[in-house]
Chains A and B, each alone.
Chain A
């Protein structure tokens, strides 16, 4: 029986900037349907890790395989499986919420008049603002729109860089529900956040980064304790 390739497999992944290593020695093996909580102080390398996994950043060393496909050999295939939510929402300010999604849909080859878009906007709570330009949106609303685009992409692997950032408590619940649903649908998830207590109960594995190095691995539920230990030391 063939063993299915893990969704994400990183070996000694590293990325340098100028004269310092933002991340080095990352080993990762995440099977499909499992999730990883990524934690660490600011500047520890969480965003770098996520961008490397998303292939928007080229590694300086090491390799990355997505469902067995080497990301350097075939980046286009790899990217089809992955979606990344970052700090910058990557929206077109002059287009409306609806139009931003339509542009993405067209570029992905989806039929432009698919009625998924109104449903998605409904799901992220933006249907009342669907015809307003992204420029007029608050940070939290922009993030919700970015989520909508991510759902539109319907990827197997989802990378979330501080998804709770800039959201209000209602938004936190929205993210919780979304993450839970995505996991239920069997997708692979990597999530970085400072809200460790909140996230650790939802996710499987945990990784703690410290100054660009792996400091601790283990079950996600143990991560808050591990983090507290590093802070106090």
Chain B
């Protein structure tokens, strides 16, 4: 039973749980939609400024939603001490981490796929630049939120004050992802005259590489008792 197949099994389990109790996706989706609306209420109703900020609003909505999604993802593990059961099977902690990180990335991807056209419509933006790069930012960006998010969610789901700790820990950490993806997405929407998108993509890719490895290494130690 190797790490890879266990990882797939954890991912499959999470997907099954999500399909089964479909409330997580719909609840987070409506939260994200409300956030997008709130952003538009919170700034001037000037079409030009809204269009310019569309990328920022989208990624902020994704960021805030990710905290809810991650919290819920680990709640089902901690509810009945299922996580401890998994460790005992035994499931390799790395498989556990990567399985959960992948399932949360997938969740955020689904969310982003719905939110993107929504925010384009809401803020009057359109994709004038590279669609491929845009997809790249969405995939790499959600992955960048999911990996450290899973590490921290595993900790905070077992601590008191979890609702405030998770965003407090996660947000400063994912600032590079936020900045690069907002700027990059913005370029993909407004047209990337100077071809900067690819270097921004490599920043996010670097972040992902670093954090998917570091968090994977630390996860096992962090869930031990």
Contacting residues of chain A (48-99) with chain B, CB-CB under 8 angstroms: 54-58, 75-76, 79-80, 82-84, 86, 88-95, 99
**A-B pairs with CB below 8 Å: how many?**
74
User: B169 near A: Cβ within 8 Å?
Assistant: no
Q: Say yes or no: A107 contacts B88, CB within 8 Å.
A: no
Q: Say yes or no: B225 contacts A57, CB within 8 Å.
A: yes
Q: Cβ of A107: which chain B residues have Cβ within 8 Å of it?
A: 1, 6, 9-10, 13, 86, 89, 91
Q: Cβ of B46: which chain A residues have Cβ within 8 Å of it?
A: none
Q: Say yes or no: B20 contacts A94, CB within 8 Å.
A: yes
Number of A interface residues in the complex (CB < 8 A): 31
Q: Cβ of B5: which chain A residues have Cβ within 8 Å of it?
A: 109
Chain B residue with Cβ nearest A84 = B88
User: B114 near A: Cβ within 8 Å?
Assistant: no
Alpha-carbon separation in the docked complex, A107 to B86 (Å): 8
Q: Which residues of B contact A (CB under 8 A)?
A: 1, 5-6, 9-10, 12-13, 16-17, 20-21, 76, 79-82, 84-92, 224-225
Q: Say yes or no: A99 contacts B81, CB within 8 Å.
A: no
CB distance from B84 to the nearest CB of A (A): 5
Pairs across A and B, CB under 8 Å, 23 listed: A56-B84, A58-B224, A75-B90, A76-B92, A79-B88, A84-B88, A86-B81, A88-B84, A90-B86, A91-B85, A92-B13, A92-B80, A92-B82, A94-B17, A95-B16, A95-B20, A103-B16, A107-B9, A107-B10, A107-B13, A107-B91, A109-B6, A153-B89
CB distance from A75 to the nearest CB of B (A): 7
Q: Say yes or no: B76 contacts A93, CB within 8 Å.
A: yes
Output the residue of A82, A92, A108 with the most chain B CB within 10 A. Answer: A92
User: A198 near B: Cβ within 8 Å?
Assistant: no
